[in-house]
């Protein structure tokens, strides 16, 4: 570890979540304060000690309102990360930097939403009004042609990935089958006790060819919060700490919001490669040191290039890695052991970070043997982020 490094200075010491549903029956703010207080209780830290809060620009729950309701006293750091699910691991990076630099003592990262019952996240831009601001105008290159949803933007890259690597829609299906298998044994997963077969995947309806319904994650109501404090203090708390060994953001190679159609090789998730490079360097680890991973699965096709960018297999060979069963229990790298966003819930990657913490603690329902280090990725197709958590 380099001097002055972020690695190992902070830890995730508390995780909290609401139930995951399609209709929470209560406000997003209710979900937010529930998951935040539950994470603090898990950590054994009193809410009045929270001095930092981090969330997504996408989140509708202001930091100050949560802070007010939980009985906060002095909020010294509040920060939001942009680029939808790409923000997930970056919230923890912000928290770790705030703790490591001495700005904060206790930072809570959160994401809480009714994205199924109050609005449909997957609906995309179909009702978007023409506006001049940059991000809306950007979608003007796509929406007049009908390319209006996240699934459709991902499908453009997925089609080319299949063409270049020989991966098939069945390989995408294997990712979904593996996720649903893990979800089937996780009582907190929406798809608890509902595994699927590859036939189910292949028979599911087309959303945007080559993507089928079962290639797409859920839309969920729910909230997840994570408590970060110093590694020093972590030793005295309730649980075995999940040390933040690596935390990085990345954007590069002609970055775009969901539409990196103009980079030389659109099958690559170059920003994931940039995150990977930073994570391994910060942590002083290699892919061989990772026992399990949470690989962002809003859409199955992007799981394959992520496995390649993180160095678990060579470019174009993720299909073989997956066909060999390496992402399932007993394989080289079981991924998304909570069921992923396909099987557990789509809380924009935050539920995956909570699962990584459980794997480090040894308390996951689908616990992998002898976990020293867990890699976590965030939303792909967008500027992104990642974490390595470990003992």
Partner 1 sequence: MENNNKELEARMAATIGVEVGPQRSWDPVNLPMICHWCQAMGDDNPMYTNLEYAEQSDQGSIIAPPTMIQALTMKGVTETPAPGSVSRTEEQPYVLDMLDEAGYVSVVAVNCDQEYFSHVKPGDDISHIMTIESISELKHTALGEGYFVTELWTFINQDNEKVAEMRFRLLKFKTPQQAQRPGSAGSQSNKPKAPQRPRPGLNRDNAFFWKGLKQGKLLIQRCTSCQTLRHPPSPMCPSCQSLDKDVVEASGKGVVHSFVNLHHPALPAFDDPNPIALVELEEGTRLVAGLINIEPEDVRIGMPVKAEITQCDDELTLALFSPVTE
Active-site amino acid positions: 296, 346
Pick the closer one to partner 1 by CB: 204 or 367: 204
Q: Which residues pair with 113 in a beta bridge?
A: 222
Minimum CB separation of residue 205 from partner 1 in Å reads 7
Cis, peptide link before residue 210, omega less than 30° from 0: yes
Confirm if 139 and 125 have CB atoms less than 8 A apart.
yes
User: Minimum CB separation from partner 1 for residue 339, in Å?
Assistant: 22
Q: CB of 263: closest distance to partner 1 in angstroms?
A: 10
Note the residue count of the chain: 391
> Which lies closer to partner 1 via its Cβ, residue 25 or residue 330?
25
Owner of token pair 């923000």:
87
Distances (CA, A) of 143 to 124, 152, 209, 299, 380: 10, 10, 17, 20, 20
Nearer residue to partner 1 within complex by CB, 11 or 113: 113
Residue of 363, 305, 307 lying closest to 335 (CA atoms): 307
CB of 105 to partner 1, least distance (A): 39
Concatenate the DSSP letters of all residues of 291-360 into one string.
-EEE---SBGGGHHHHHHHTTSS-TT-HHHHHHTTTTSTTSSS-B-TT-HHHHT--STTHHHHHHHHHHH
Query: Toward partner 1, which CB reaches closer, 159 or 168?
Result: 159
In the complex with partner 1, which residue's Cβ is closer, 25 or 187? 25
Q: How far is CA 244 from CA 207, 285, 288, in A?
A: 38, 13, 18
Identify any residues that bridge with 246 across adjacent strands, giving them in sequence order.
Answer: 388
Binding site for partner 1 (CB under 8 A): 23, 25, 117, 123-134, 136-149, 151-152, 155-157, 159-160, 163, 205-211, 254, 259, 261-262, 266
Q: How far is the CB of 141 from partner 1 (least distance, A)?
A: 5
Identify the CA nearest to 247 among candidates 270, 278, 287. Answer: 278
């Amino acid at each position: 570890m380099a001097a002055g490094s972020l690695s190992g200075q902070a830890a995730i010491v508390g995780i909290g979540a609401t139930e995951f549903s399609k209709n929470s029956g209560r406000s997003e703010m209710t979900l937010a304060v529930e998951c935040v207080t539950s994470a603090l209780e898990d950590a054994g830290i009193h809410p009045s000690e929270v001095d930092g809060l981090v969330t997504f620009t996408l989140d509708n729950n202001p930091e100050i309102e949560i802070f007010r309701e939980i009985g906060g006293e002095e909020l010294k750091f509040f920060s939001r990360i942009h680029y939808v699910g790409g923000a997930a691991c970056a919230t923890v990076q912000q928290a770790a930097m705030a703790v490591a630099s001495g700005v904060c003592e206790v930072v809570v990262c959160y994401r809480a939403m009714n994205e199924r019952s109050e609005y449909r996240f997957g609906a995309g831009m179909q009702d978007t009004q023409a506006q001049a601001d940059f991000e809306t105008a950007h979608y003007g290159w796509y929406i007049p042609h009908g390319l209006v949803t996240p699934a459709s933007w991902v499908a453009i890259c997925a089609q080319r990935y299949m063409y270049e690597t020989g991966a098939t829609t069945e390989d995408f299906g294997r990712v979904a089958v593996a996720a649903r298998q893990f979800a089937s044994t996780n009582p907190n997963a929406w798809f608890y006790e509902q595994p699927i077969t590859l036939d189910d995947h292949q028979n599911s309806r087309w959303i945007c060819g080559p993507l089928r319904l079962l290639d797409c994650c859920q839309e969920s109501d729910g909230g997840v919060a994570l408590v970060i404090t110093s590694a020093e203090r972590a030793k005295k708390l309730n649980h075995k700490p999940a040390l933040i060994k690596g935390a990085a953001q990345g954007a590069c190679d002609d970055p775009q919001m969901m539409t990196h159609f103009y980079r030389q090789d659109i099958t690559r998730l170059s920003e994931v490669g940039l995150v990977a490079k930073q994570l391994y360097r910060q942590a002083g680890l290699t892919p061989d040191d990772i026992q399990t991973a949470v690989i962002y699965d809003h859409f199955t096709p992007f799981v394959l290039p992520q496995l390649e960018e993180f160095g678990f297999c060579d470019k174009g060979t993720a299909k073989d890695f997956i066909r060999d069963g390496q992402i399932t229990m007993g394989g080289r790298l079981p991924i998304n052991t909570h069921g992923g966003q396909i099987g557990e819930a789509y809380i924009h990657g935050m539920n995956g970070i909570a699962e990584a913490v459980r794997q480090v603690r040894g308390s996951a329902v689908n616990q992998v043997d002898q976990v020293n280090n867990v890699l976590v990725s965030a939303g792909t197709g967008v500027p992104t982020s990642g974490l390595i958590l470990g003992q």
